[in-house]
Structure 1
Amino acid sequence: MATVQFRLRSKANKNVSIKVRVTLNRGNDLELNTGFTINPKDWSKDTDRPKQNNTENKLIFSNLKKLDSFIYNNLNKDLGNNVLIDSFWLDSQIKDCFDRVEKTDSGLLINHIQYIIDNANTRKVRTNGGFKIGLSKSTIKNYTLFKNIITEYQKTSKKQIHFVGITKPFVDKFTNWLVNTKNYSTNYSGKQLEILKTVCIDAEKNEITITPYSKTIQHFRESENDRYIQILSFDELDTIKNIEFNDEVLLKKFKTDNPELTKNLAITTDALNNARNWVLIGCEIGQRGGDLLKIKNDNIRRTAKGIYIDIVQQKTKKSVTVGIIAPHVLDIVENNLPKEIQHQKLNDYVKVICKLAGIDGVVKGTKLNTETNRKELGKYPKFELIASHCFRRSFATNYYKKIPTAVLIGITGHSKESLFLTYINKREDKDANADLFMKFYEDLNKNKIPEMKVLKNGTSE
């Protein structure tokens, strides 16, 4: 049976440390300083506690009693959960019992997250070609949001999170809080666990002690069957391309009839044409909304073979070149390149444009509930679910199997085919790959002239 004892290891006539000793079984015991000190003359050998002969000793007595109970309770619970009971565990119990961990302690999870953020511009990041210096803005944002989540969880659990406390029971409780209490989506919850694991591994590289389990934390994503993606098909894009926005009277009536959809938007011919041009370009070049809206004349290159758009993707820093083929997009790029607008404005305008185009069939998908600030799965008119992130997905989906996947990946910037297929919610079709190879092989050889060979007839003539 495990026991908890307190003792002094010195008889000097001065204050000495009070030790706590936890014995698990014969030959297996742990001992650490409690952080309290006392003069040996005020220590009772009969009770192994301070004599209650003054106010200060009474307070120490009370604190040791609190620690004794705290260790026993957690010891029984953690033994039942197969948690490793070692000196790190005992140190954590002492600190947690009295909330003693200093804010400057590098062993605190929250402090190392801040350390990563503070040193973001000098951190090495692995790339396909080796390493680069500096975290991207989106990565820094993810760490900042993760720090906010950890801060909130610490307030909920009423204790600071130390790396030596990141065990399987901790991760299970944290996951339950993310999914069931905060109602975060499966993907977002899984992303937080992925970041937690990354921070733990980084801490170990900085010679901070972590638990072995923290390097094996499993993160997750929603299954293919649970994903609902929205795209604009070629037919829907044709409808958007051909819709007329010239009747200002009808546009004014549309705004009156749809106040929630059109609030804070200028519903005019010029504004809608400008936004429509961004939609049509976006669905033909397969780039993220932030990269799309940064396109200017400087990005457009005219060659003997046609028009190219050169882009350095903000998220991945990849250089991408896209050839423009569609006649209506060529016309926009050459003669009516749209003006830059705010990303959120484009997301709002595309919903208006899609509704005006009659893209309002009811589909299944997720939509943000503004009251709970959470995405909710349901059935909605399609135009309500369309935003700028659908442009890149529309491009990838519409041209999948029409253009070699390797070419599409080179344009979208995905690092590998499996990620590309997940992005468009497709499984790898090995037969389709084989069919495509045979088609290219036939095209490669169909114009070859048959070679004529002279065959010997077996005579000497």
Structure 2
Amino acid sequence: MASGKFRIKTDNEWNTIYYRFKQGGQFDIELSTGIQTPKGRWSQSKQKILDTPKINFKDFNLKLQELDTIVRKEYEDSKINSTSIDSMWLKKRISSFFKRETKNKETDSRVFLTNFIEVFIKESHNKKSRNNTPISKKTIQHYTTTLNKVIALEKYINKRVLLKDIDIEFHSKMIDFLETKQHLNPNTIGGYIDDIKLFCRNASRKGIEIPNDYRFPEFYSPTNKTKDIYLKEEEINKIYHTNFNLDYLENAKDWFIIGVRTGFRISDFLKLTKKNIDGGFIEKTTKKTDFPVITPLHDQVQAILDKRNGSFPRKISDQKFNDYIKIVCKEIGMTELVEGAKICPIQIIDENGEKKKIHRKKSGKFPKYQLVTSHVCRRSFATNLYGKIDTLTIMKITGHKTESQFLDYIKITPKEYAEKLKQYWKKTQL
């Protein structure tokens, strides 16, 4: 029968405890446990550390007993699948028991959160969503960003995060770190917590030991209501009817009108070509959802194509579009102060005590033109059409899967709802 014994090999001020595991002539393996005992405080006959104020000897002795029990059990289990028992096998058991990294991907992914996320990301490239479509690159990129945030937390607390440590305390530490050290807003933090809960569910399905805390209401995803803007029809028409002497502004203006009148995301409308036009309709398989969307050519979009001999405006980058459209909106007088959020530079003191400039979203009152970005196109499209045609039709173009998501997306104020009711009453009065 296999036996396990502990021993020390030196008589120094501190001595490493080794574990020897042997079975007749089949194998005889000895490896370091990584635990050290003070000089003269190891009893070979009792197989334990004697009383000493220098370490928590009771805890260490308990751990050594547990290690021996685990190794013996896993050795007996290995007989079923004819596992080879060698120094690598024992090293994995010792490292796994003490939650140390083994450099073995499968073993480490069942112990450490970051290692698990790395495997999860790798597997995501071959997974499909509920709609039987591949996981989008943007989603996988968000997983990677969440991984980087966990790595940053580990660096800050100088400790690896174990899967068995993902509890309410970890949740609090993560949120506090992202708020106070990374200076992120609640919605952004909530996205990272959502990912961590997804990783926990996946780990649980794989039979990995993990606390159930991620299922509790206290393991919440922070959020806050943002006051996103949209442009009303009169503002859109003013942009459309304004001619700009500078070609790059005229080009950006035309792209903006196309975005507003199609309801596409910037990743889709800036990629439109003649090939997407068919019999008075624009057809495009959207990048984010990989779903074909068909929308009729608006008169303003048709006029833009006509003045360009049937072609779409000159290609520009997402960043230049967002920069130029702010200038366009400023030029037409969109300078009133409104509530919203925009990316602003802030100065922080980093972990080395040095001043550093970073960019974060800040809420407040700003001139309206400063808040106009590509997102305003799609939001204005949906908001202006809401109540004029059935909601399902708009959702088919915007890609919202539920009406609750759609209603949260559109930005009609309570006053505007009241105005709609007022106009309706006027029409129905005798």
User: Is TM (by shorter chain) over 0.5?
Assistant: yes
CA deviations on 1:186-232 (whole Å, 9 max, x unpaired) are: 11011111000001111223332222223444324214xxx211112
Q: Give the match for residue 259 of structure 2.
A: 282
Q: Give the match for residue 172 of structure 1.
A: 172
Q: Which residue type is aligned with residue 126 of structure 2?
A: T
Q: Give the match for residue 417 of structure 1.
A: 403
Inter-CA distance 97–154: structure 2 relative to 1 (3 Å threshold): farther
Aligned partners of 1:355 and 1:427: how far apart in 2? Answer: 23
Aligned partners of 1:11 and 1:221: how far apart in 2? Answer: 52
Q: Which runs of 5+ in 2 are unaligned?
A: 10-16, 21-31, 64-93, 346-356, 425-430
Aligned partners of 2:7 and 2:361: how far apart in 1? Answer: 65
Aligned partners of 2:244 and 2:8: how far apart in 1? Answer: 93
Q: Give the match for residue 277 of structure 2.
A: 300
Structure 1 counterpart of 2:288, from 307, 315, 333: 315
SS at match of 1:408: helix
- Conserved? CA contact 1:67–1:97, under 8 Å: no
- The sequence identity of aligned pairs, in percent, is 31
Alpha-carbon RMSD across the aligned residues, in angstroms, is: 3.9
CA deviations on 1:103-127 (whole Å, 9 max, x unpaired) are: 5411211112111222332113211
Which one is further off, 418-427 or 110-119? 418-427
Aligned partners of 2:121 and 2:328: how far apart in 1? Answer: 40
Structure 2 counterpart of 1:347, from 303, 306, 322: 322
Aligned partners of 2:162 and 2:377: how far apart in 1? Answer: 43
Structure 1 counterpart of 2:130, from 115, 126, 131: 126
Inter-CA distance 415–141: structure 2 relative to 1 (3 Å threshold): same
Aligned partners of 1:353 and 1:297: how far apart in 2? Answer: 25
Q: Give the match for residue 300 of structure 2.
A: 328
Q: Which residue type is aligned with residue 249 of structure 2?
A: L
CA deviations on 1:136-185 (whole Å, 9 max, x unpaired) are: 11011101111110110001111111111101111122122222332211
2:406 matched to 1:402?
no
**TM-score, normalization by structure 1:** 0.67
1:275, CA displacement in angstroms?
0.9
SS at match of 2:130: strand
Aligned partners of 2:8 and 2:153: how far apart in 1? Answer: 45
- Conserved? CA contact 1:13–1:41, under 8 Å: no
Q: Which residue type is aligned with residue 125 of structure 2?
A: N
- Conserved? CA contact 2:187–2:222, under 8 Å: yes
Which one is further off, 198-207 or 108-117? 198-207
Aligned partners of 1:96 and 1:50: how far apart in 2? Answer: 26
Aligned partners of 1:385 and 1:12: how far apart in 2? Answer: 69
1:422, CA displacement in angstroms?
0.7
How many residues in Structure 1 have an aligned counterpart in Structure 2? 348
- Conserved? CA contact 2:190–2:221, under 8 Å: yes
- Conserved? CA contact 1:289–1:388, under 8 Å: yes
- Conserved? CA contact 2:6–2:44, under 8 Å: no
- Conserved? CA contact 2:95–2:102, under 8 Å: no
CA deviations on 1:255-313 (whole Å, 9 max, x unpaired) are: xxxxxxxxxxxxxx3222111110111111111111110111111111xxxx1111111
Q: Which residue type is aligned with residue 362 of structure 1?
A: L
Aligned partners of 2:223 and 2:248: how far apart in 1? Answer: 38
Q: Which residue type is aligned with residue 303 of structure 2?
A: D
Structure 2 counterpart of 1:357, from 310, 317, 332: 332
- Conserved? CA contact 1:230–1:385, under 8 Å: yes
Inter-CA distance 426–240: structure 2 relative to 1 (3 Å threshold): closer
1:321, CA displacement in angstroms?
0.6
Q: Give the match for residue 113 of structure 1.
A: 117
Q: Which runs of 5+ in 1 are unaligned?
A: 1-7, 19-32, 53-60, 72-93, 247-268, 439-461
- Conserved? CA contact 1:168–1:213, under 8 Å: yes
CA deviations on 1:77-125 (whole Å, 9 max, x unpaired) are: xxxxxxxxxxxxxxxxx98998734454112111121112223321132
Aligned partners of 2:98 and 2:334: how far apart in 1? Answer: 60
SS at match of 1:122: coil
Structure 2 counterpart of 1:218, from 216, 220, 224: 220
Q: How does 1:179-198 map to 2 (within 5 A)?
A: 179-198=179-198
1:364, CA displacement in angstroms?
1.4
Q: Give the match for residue 140 of structure 2.
A: 140
Aligned partners of 2:128 and 2:282: how far apart in 1? Answer: 30
Aligned partners of 2:174 and 2:114: how far apart in 1? Answer: 15
CA deviations on 1:323-344 (whole Å, 9 max, x unpaired) are: 123x222212344221221011
SS at match of 1:372: strand
Inter-CA distance 174–103: structure 2 relative to 1 (3 Å threshold): farther
Which one is further off, 327-336 or 356-365? 327-336
- Conserved? CA contact 1:16–1:37, under 8 Å: no
Larger Rg: 1
- Conserved? CA contact 1:421–1:427, under 8 Å: no
Inter-CA distance 164–271: structure 2 relative to 1 (3 Å threshold): same
Q: Which residue type is aligned with residue 308 of structure 1?
A: F
